[in-house]
Amino acid sequence: MHATLPLLEATDFPAIRRTRLETLQVNLGYRCNQSCVHCHVNAGPQRTEQMALGTVFEVIAFLKTSGVKSLDVTGGAPELNPHFRTLVSTGRELGVQVMDRCNLTVLEQPGQHDLAQFLADHRVEIVASLPCYLEENVDRQRGKGVFEASIRCLKHLNALGYGTPDSGLTLNLVYNPQGPVLPPAQGPLERDYHRHLSERYGIAFNQLYVLTNMPIQRFGSMLISKGQFEQYMALLKNAYEPRNLDSVMCRSLVSVDWRGYVYDCDFNQMLGLPLRWKARPRVHLRDLMGADLNGNGIVVRDHCYGCTAGQGSSCGGALDAQPRGS
Ligand code: SF4
Ligand code: SF4
């Protein structure tokens, strides 16, 4: 795989600073039952990195002392970590809102037959990737048979109440473009998704999050291989919207890797760009117990233009669909 960081180091992206910490995003490891073309984590079945139980306990201790109200659990397929359920159930006992970034097909993996019920019982919000409502496009990006399995899993989640009115069980879907283009407007695409999935498969969901592909890891490497990296960066920069700077996710989120080290966001984690704190070369979550990150400078590089292009992009979808200045 081609390294992308050397191409992103020289940047004119504006300096930005943190506001109040609201979300702890925890990467439980890079193991995944899929190996999608656009994966910015480079996850797959062969990856062995997994958060150990001791580190999970450190995450729980941080939740207790920091008062952070939102826990965003990601991977790989986070559910494949043997301590996933300990983290989720303890987080919920603490009154923390928990989001599971679920690839859907993990619900059919061996040993996971009761996973969907576990998530429903703990009222975990599910954020599930479905990069298109057409089978051919999903299978090209995520692997043969993934679309059909995803539809089965969505029906299973709907049967438990996920995505249906008044159930309180939230099921959001995630879209990202197939190639080196900006995503379409979130609102109209969400309406298309609702119509198509409902008419064709009887599937309901809450919101669609539209994400921009980041020029890093597998996708960035693919751009380099095809000679499209510079063109894609020019596309992101030409679509720069300064107003998105107020709500990029790194202002209110920290990303924790499987060893407990912290970063300003998941993308910086994948690029090996640690959060800057008291001139330490690397910062562990335990170093931040009781710390106030408000005003701390954020580590930016050229990939940050992926968050500010057009309607903006974050782990909660388009920025212009979210409340500003949070
Ligand atoms: S399902 Fe998600 S984590 Fe797994 S390979 Fe695909 S994009 Fe990466
Ligand atoms: S890539 Fe990360 S650090 Fe850069 S703007 Fe986006 S969220 Fe912030």
> Which atom belonging to ligand 1 lies closest to the Cα atom of 103?
1
Alpha-carbon span 182 to 207, nearest angstrom:
19
Alpha-carbon span 226 to 206, nearest angstrom:
36
Cβ(303) to ligand 2 under 6 A?
A: yes
Alpha carbon dihedral 106, 47, 85, 107, in 10-degree steps, equals 0
* Residue 323, pLDDT score: 53
Q: Per-residue pLDDT for 145 more than 80?
A: yes
- 44 C-alpha vs ligand 1 centroid, how far in Å? 7
Alpha-carbon span 85 to 256, nearest angstrom:
17
**Mean pLDDT for the stretch of residues 320-325:** 59
Q: Per-residue pLDDT for 131 more than 80?
A: no
* Closest protein CA for atom 5 of ligand 1: 35
- Ligand nearest to the backbone CA of 316: 2
Computed over every residue of the chain, the mean pLDDT equals: 93
Q: Which tens digit of pLDDT belongs to each residue from 197-210?
A: 999 999 999 999 99
**Mean pLDDT for the stretch of residues 309-325:** 77
* Residue 165, pLDDT score: 84
- Residue partners of 84: CB distance under 8 A and separation at least 6: 28, 73, 78
Q: Which tens digit of pLDDT belongs to each residue from 261-284?
A: 999 999 999 999 999 999 899 999
Q: Which tens digit of pLDDT belongs to each residue from 231-243?
A: 999 999 999 999 9
Structure confidence at residue 317 as a pLDDT band (50, 70, 90) = confident
Higher pLDDT, 145 or 196: 196
Q: CB-hemisphere CA count at 13 Å for 322?
A: 22
- 255 C-alpha vs ligand 2 centroid, how far in Å? 11
> Which atom belonging to ligand 2 lies closest to the Cα atom of 245?
5
Q: Quick one: which of 136, 76, 66 has its CA closest to 100? A: 76
Higher pLDDT, 131 or 260: 260
Higher pLDDT, 322 or 115: 115
Q: Per-residue pLDDT for 37 more than 90?
A: no
Q: Which tens digit of pLDDT belongs to each residue from 80-93?
A: 999 999 999 999 99
Q: Per-residue pLDDT for 182 more than 60?
A: yes
Q: Per-residue pLDDT for 324 more than 50?
A: no
Tell me how long the chain is. 326
Q: Per-residue pLDDT for 25 more than 90?
A: yes
Task: Out of 9, 219, 264, 319, give the residue to mutate to test ligand 2, the one with the largest number of ligand atoms within 8 Å of its CB.
Answer: 264
Q: Per-residue pLDDT for 39 more than 80?
A: no
C-alpha 16: how far from its chain's center?
21
HEC profile of the chain: CCCCHHHHCCCCCCCCECCCCCEEEEECECECCCCCCCCCCCCECCCCCECCHHHHHHHHHHHHHHCCCEEEEECCCHHHCCCHHHHHHHHHHCCCEEEEEECCHHHHCCCCCCHHHHHHHCCCEEEEECCCCCHHHHHHHHCCCHHHHHHHHHHHHHHCCCCCCCCCCCEEEEECCCCCCCCCCHHHHHHHHHHHHHHHHCCCCCCEEECCCCCCHHHHHHHHHCCCHHHHHHHHHHCECHHHHHHCHHHCEEEECCCCEEECCHHHHHHCCECCCCCCCCCEHHHHCCCCCCCCECCCCHHHHHHHECCCCECCECHHHCCCCC
Give the percent of the chain with pLDDT over 70: 98
* Residue 274, pLDDT score: 97
* Residue 231, pLDDT score: 97
Amino acid, res. 126 = I
- Ligand nearest to the backbone CA of 8: 2
Cβ(298) to ligand 2 under 6 A?
A: yes
